[in-house]
Structure 1
């Protein structure tokens, strides 16, 4: 049984370039054992029954006690999971055999065995103590863990998405694996919680040899496999709204962002002429090839953007116009259409987003209108319009037409009105994961942010910082210039992958927890804020962001599976310095967008956190990020600028009119939002602390009511109506009652007639 190639298969980031020699070592371990049992044959020449038998033989041998033998067997299993590349002639063939072999491993119960081995290696106190005592930790200290994590990553990543031509058996096994991976079967907790525990143990300093890049990548793929990605999240959101009887989403956010264009259309004919003249001047300068430095910088799309002193009060950098960023030229240009009759460019009319209005916005508008025209308010009544002028009636009707009910409000209403009995909690994957993370969630968030800080390009090396390079540094340091350059590329790439994995995990958890219950997301978000996530993300963007987006920290000929299928060319210092032909790095762009979305999640509708953006002077930092001409990234930067514009003052808005116009054109509007003209100059962070404290109290009540069985609120306990259990309870009577018990019996029992027939009926 062979399975066709599948989409989304990308394991190049799993392996560091320092691990390159281990590919052939895995092959050697497999072939030595394979020739003893199946001589004169290749793995690809065996039928399914023979392959299944050898797979079971390998798993049985994995239970040996000797570490060296167990490691050889684990390497053999890893070679099988890597697609037995020695028998393949192309990358597509390797991908096909990866999926086929992983089906055999999963069918034989390999993942359960690997989880047990991983648990044993994590609790290996001898290895941990040796790593703590060593002055310098290298790749060799994490060998056992890396081999196990590599196999598990390949299995989870292969089973994450459906492939073309998957058999019915594969689809059933894939669905079963996904449900088991998210359930508390392994070590009485979901597998993702176990990985979070490894991250925390690494940051505490008790296990510095843990290969953090592989742990974080596996954690990311596990969350994707069990909870789902962004497209599945959108489907779950639509399904939940339909289930609750709410209207459908006004538009698909993913499609809107994909169709959005990063370059703004000219606002007038004069702007169009000015753009054409600028483009003509640039082309003319490029043709005459001036040699002075100023002309070179003007032509160079990647010139340094560190002129920070002028940007704060100057909007002449044309970051929202000019030449598009060379990521995807067709996507970032305005979607203009040429009219053949007039030979003119016409741009689409309207804004990309449908405006939304919350019920609270309608209440605030009605309250202010009643207070102004009538002199009293009616609280949360949004229907009574008696005494209000006709234009106010029209305004309310318009607001209600754009009203959008957020389904997570229902979760809050259930908590407010739940008086008796227990809330029925559906045990979906997100709920199970939250229950597993809840006891130590603050420690998990702090650990992730510590690693993110250590991997940030702007971080400086400190003696007390955690070492995230344990699984990339070789035992013997490089001795030649070429080896040093290769290791430098590997280290930078290693940090970029860590940032990518952490940002993706945090964003996915925030979105899935919000979909499951809004207070679960708020609990996680509060602990991220308490752990200084907001200034950390701003510190990340306080760099030459164009240089980060266009970084070339990759050597494509050393990526798997290209490096094991083709003959490698000779590497030179010039080829390493030149890098790949790609003019951008999708990995770093993905990380930047994720971090911006996390920042939006943390600050949305939270005034105290918005003021943190103002206090930390985020406006010039975010404005520099607009130099990246990519639609999605610019959208989330503009969102963050929009929420703080009214706190930045009139002079800032006057000096940054192009940015204000871009916000108007690209960001969703609230019909009665005063973002463009409001002035809250006197607002201070401590003015909004009451709001944060109230939110924290609500979250603690939610967690206590739903998850704290020992200290549950008696008002929310169910009523016991069972006669046997009620009568069987021991009740301590007061002293005065015991002294007068005979009198009570005489007065309440013996002296009163009892109709036994009615009692029995």
Structure 2
């Protein structure tokens, strides 16, 4: 908010700056003040909590400002961008090779017309001929047919004059190929190559010191076709016919169902990732595999809009109150905050401060004494003077390090019309958990009455009236999550396995995917993190790291400076796309699993933590994040479909260095936000993992990320700083008041969350290992009960008491027993006296 001129420091009034100073308001809420030994709580609803306000005037020109990034977070980038990222620039010559293969095949049947001049029946007949060609045994002929299909999927660009026309024919050809059954044949070919590991290519690739594009030709062509089909069919267009819309829904269902070798296609792609990381298939084109895996998960499970709709529907089914707000809409409406001061700014401020006398800050230490009057109502300077006199001794000339340049002067006489414009409200509605209400009540009972009830949030007998009002306020903002209901139901199933009955599990795409990846989920998570580590810009080349450049390096290395620069841009772009795909995969899986069942989410999250995902993400951000987000590792004239429609200009070193004209790189900012969201998912309400953030010294790393002026990214950085603020100590909080103010303004408040201090029990780091072990035990019980049908308790299995069926049951006897059966019968049966009367009775 803006400060009126009567409160401007003298340097601003003297004309040094045309910009008004900014007012930073820090509101720290301390709950349970009566419990902590202070005087009893005052009874005014939310005013039952003690509040401390510190107002600091700081010049806006002293901070290193960067422009706001006009970035809109979405499930994916523009369709054209997602198409172009599939191909590396090294693959450029293959566009003409694909065209040549198609035209040779096409001219043998149609000699006088172009593809775009044929009717639907002729198009369908040729697509069927190409489909038959995929079943030939000869590899060379099958590869030629695959390239011809790829050219069709690429929009038969030689007959098009614009990018829009290419995209139109892409959609037409892809729906045509899907209709004749090409997709199933392609997936079977990929599965066959995966199982055989393309034995000839695999054995030669393992022996070769350097793997190139030629080692993965077959897989690359097939994956290109499948990826383009998935991405294009997923793209909705209002002009689509009803038949195409029905085809899209059918394809979406089949893609998430175990129709391909009794497993969803995503499970097969996960298997390819693990085989690549194990070293058995180093030639796999991993960027294409990861991009296809991401788009398959996104298409079958749904994006963030669909997640929000599923969440609303599930809350209605569970008869829970509606969500307090639409989080997607709130985040999109938020504005970025000014970043904290850099080191150069602080040095400059210190030099200015050496030439200027210190002035004291105004601190309003306690608002309880101010409750009797409305602070927004009166503007009388005499009241301000009284307030200053009361609080003058509380804080003598104690400026904060980040805002010491200018301090607030004593109030000046001003006209009554001039007043501070207070913000209308915070962006998020506060939330309170049932556990928080129980903790507050137990502490209150222990303080005032001397007894505790346990799991009782209704009995308030003997408690003071302010406590009653506090509990009423807390219950007004109580939020019950879907996860709490799921945990309670699972506890009930574990306690009463017989009377609980059968669980009604909805076999949605998320459930089918979890069942498919459950046996090898730890290996999948480790493999993804290994590739992420190799693709991170902060990683150094090591001999034991995996080679992720198999589908970008040419057979012959560059010989000129221009070729080397082009390859360097291509390699950096290749790594950025891999990071983008992995971050999106992990985030989508975490969010969908959490909504489907919280223990599915916890199982995946725990294995990510065990695989060192938290330090890996922190290592990723321990770089010049501004440079990473504004990197220009792209050559727009070589992007598909521009490169196949337009005449290519001559590339020069200057044009490669200039890059594109965009303010930022969409995929890199998208990756950073995804990784921050993953980190938030892993650490939320997990004190042991929050302590990992503290141990790995994440606070300075995250503070540097605040320099990116993008509201969504800043929000998730501030969330991560908020959860560890109580562990960082008073001096850190005192030195980072601007960050504390941003946390207050942008992050959701928990009414009795003592985030700004260190007084609650959760801030004391003990017995965190027991917390993780208990969670792991609950996860194992859930997976065993729901998915491991062979591990049922034998005491709960039905017993066959029918004599005939038991005697008629066939028993397989070992061979040595059958050979010595007569001897066993004589020794164990005939030679021992048996009282048959007693036995039968």
TM range (shorter): 0.7 to 0.9
CA positional deviation for 1:389 = 1.1
Partner of 1:394: 469
Matches of 2:751 and 2:141 in 1, distance apart? 68
Matches of 2:532 and 2:804 in 1, distance apart? 54
Partner of 1:358: 433
Please say if residues 85 and 94 of structure 1, whose CA atoms lie closer than 8 Å, have aligned partners that are also in contact. yes
CA positional deviation for 1:263 = 2.4
Matches of 2:104 and 2:678 in 1, distance apart? 49
Q: Using CA pairs under 8 Å that are at least 6 residues apart, name the structure with larger relative contact order, 1 or 2.
A: 2
Q: Deviations over 1:201-242 (max 9, x none)?
A: 000001000000000000000000110011111111111111
Matches of 1:661 and 1:684 in 2, distance apart? 24
Alignment of 1:503-582 (within 5 A): 503-582=583-662
Check if 1:662 corresponds to 2:662. Answer: no
Alignment of 1:18-29 (within 5 A): 18-29=90-101
Q: Which of 59, 63, 66 lines up with 2:135 in the alignment?
A: 63
Check if 1:114 corresponds to 2:194. Answer: no
Matches of 1:29 and 1:360 in 2, distance apart? 66
Matches of 1:116 and 1:466 in 2, distance apart? 27
CA positional deviation for 1:127 = 1.7
Matches of 2:810 and 2:204 in 1, distance apart? 58
Q: Which of 754, 757, 771 lines up with 1:677 in the alignment?
A: 757
Q: Which of 173, 180, 204 lines up with 1:101 in the alignment?
A: 173
Please say if residues 233 and 248 of structure 2, whose CA atoms lie closer than 8 Å, have aligned partners that are also in contact. yes
Please say if residues 754 and 760 of structure 2, whose CA atoms lie closer than 8 Å, have aligned partners that are also in contact. no
Please say if residues 726 and 763 of structure 2, whose CA atoms lie closer than 8 Å, have aligned partners that are also in contact. no
Matches of 1:570 and 1:317 in 2, distance apart? 54
Matches of 1:540 and 1:693 in 2, distance apart? 28
Partner of 2:157: 85
Please say if residues 193 and 436 of structure 1, whose CA atoms lie closer than 8 Å, have aligned partners that are also in contact. yes
Please say if residues 258 and 264 of structure 2, whose CA atoms lie closer than 8 Å, have aligned partners that are also in contact. yes
Check if 1:213 corresponds to 2:287. Answer: yes
Partner of 2:450: 375
Partner of 2:546: 466
CA positional deviation for 1:346 = 5.6
Check if 1:254 corresponds to 2:331. Answer: no
CA positional deviation for 1:583 = 2.0
Partner of 2:689: 609
CA positional deviation for 1:414 = 1.5
Q: Deviations over 1:594-618 (max 9, x none)?
A: 0000000000000000000000000
Partner of 2:236: 162
TM-score, length-scaled by structure 1: 0.84
Matches of 1:389 and 1:704 in 2, distance apart? 48
Matches of 1:725 and 1:490 in 2, distance apart? 74
Q: Which of 398, 405, 423 lines up with 2:480 in the alignment?
A: 405
Q: Deviations over 1:123-157 (max 9, x none)?
A: 22222111100111001111110000000001111
Instruction: Give the direction of change, closer, same or farther, for the CA distance of 1:121–1:265 in structure 2 (3 Å limit).
Output: closer
Alignment of 1:434-449 (within 5 A): 434-449=514-529
CA positional deviation for 1:461 = 0.4
Q: Deviations over 1:34-54 (max 9, x none)?
A: 111111111111111110110
Please say if residues 155 and 169 of structure 2, whose CA atoms lie closer than 8 Å, have aligned partners that are also in contact. yes
Structure 2 residues without counterparts, runs of 5 or longer? 1-76, 353-399, 406-416, 812-828
CA positional deviation for 1:399 = 0.6
Matches of 2:141 and 2:132 in 1, distance apart? 12
Partner of 1:39: 111
Q: Deviations over 1:180-221 (max 9, x none)?
A: 111111111111000000000000001000000000000000
Please say if residues 687 and 762 of structure 2, whose CA atoms lie closer than 8 Å, have aligned partners that are also in contact. no
Check if 1:742 corresponds to 2:837. Answer: yes
Alignment of 1:325-340 (within 5 A): none
| Structure 2 residue matching 1:614: 3-state secondary structure | helix
CA positional deviation for 1:423 = 1.5
CA positional deviation for 1:96 = 1.1
Check if 1:187 corresponds to 2:222. Answer: no
Matches of 2:741 and 2:687 in 1, distance apart? 23
Please say if residues 210 and 470 of structure 1, whose CA atoms lie closer than 8 Å, have aligned partners that are also in contact. yes
CA positional deviation for 1:121 = 1.6
Matches of 2:556 and 2:292 in 1, distance apart? 28
CA positional deviation for 1:343 = 11
Q: Higher mean Cα deviation, 405-414 or 230-239?
A: 405-414
Matches of 1:729 and 1:666 in 2, distance apart? 73
Check if 1:263 corresponds to 2:337. Answer: yes
Partner of 2:388: none
Instruction: Give the direction of change, closer, same or farther, for the CA distance of 1:373–1:730 in structure 2 (3 Å limit).
Output: farther
Q: Higher mean Cα deviation, 420-429 or 185-194?
A: 420-429
Q: Bigger radius of gyration, 1 or 2?
A: 2
Partner of 1:130: 204
Q: Deviations over 1:629-669 (max 9, x none)?
A: 00000000000000000000000000000000000000000
Alignment of 1:637-656 (within 5 A): 637-656=717-736
Partner of 1:297: none
CA positional deviation for 1:731 = 14
Q: Higher mean Cα deviation, 419-428 or 225-234?
A: 419-428
Please say if residues 370 and 377 of structure 1, whose CA atoms lie closer than 8 Å, have aligned partners that are also in contact. yes
Q: Deviations over 1:334-377 (max 9, x none)?
A: xxxxxxxx999967411000001111111111111111111111
| Structure 2 residue matching 1:357: 3-state secondary structure | coil
CA positional deviation for 1:713 = 3.5
Matches of 2:779 and 2:515 in 1, distance apart? 14
Please say if residues 30 and 75 of structure 1, whose CA atoms lie closer than 8 Å, have aligned partners that are also in contact. yes
Please say if residues 160 and 224 of structure 1, whose CA atoms lie closer than 8 Å, have aligned partners that are also in contact. no
Check if 1:236 corresponds to 2:316. Answer: no
Matches of 1:16 and 1:142 in 2, distance apart? 13
Please say if residues 338 and 707 of structure 2, whose CA atoms lie closer than 8 Å, have aligned partners that are also in contact. no
Instruction: Give the direction of change, closer, same or farther, for the CA distance of 1:132–1:315 in structure 2 (3 Å limit).
Output: farther
CA positional deviation for 1:60 = 0.3
Please say if residues 800 and 806 of structure 2, whose CA atoms lie closer than 8 Å, have aligned partners that are also in contact. no
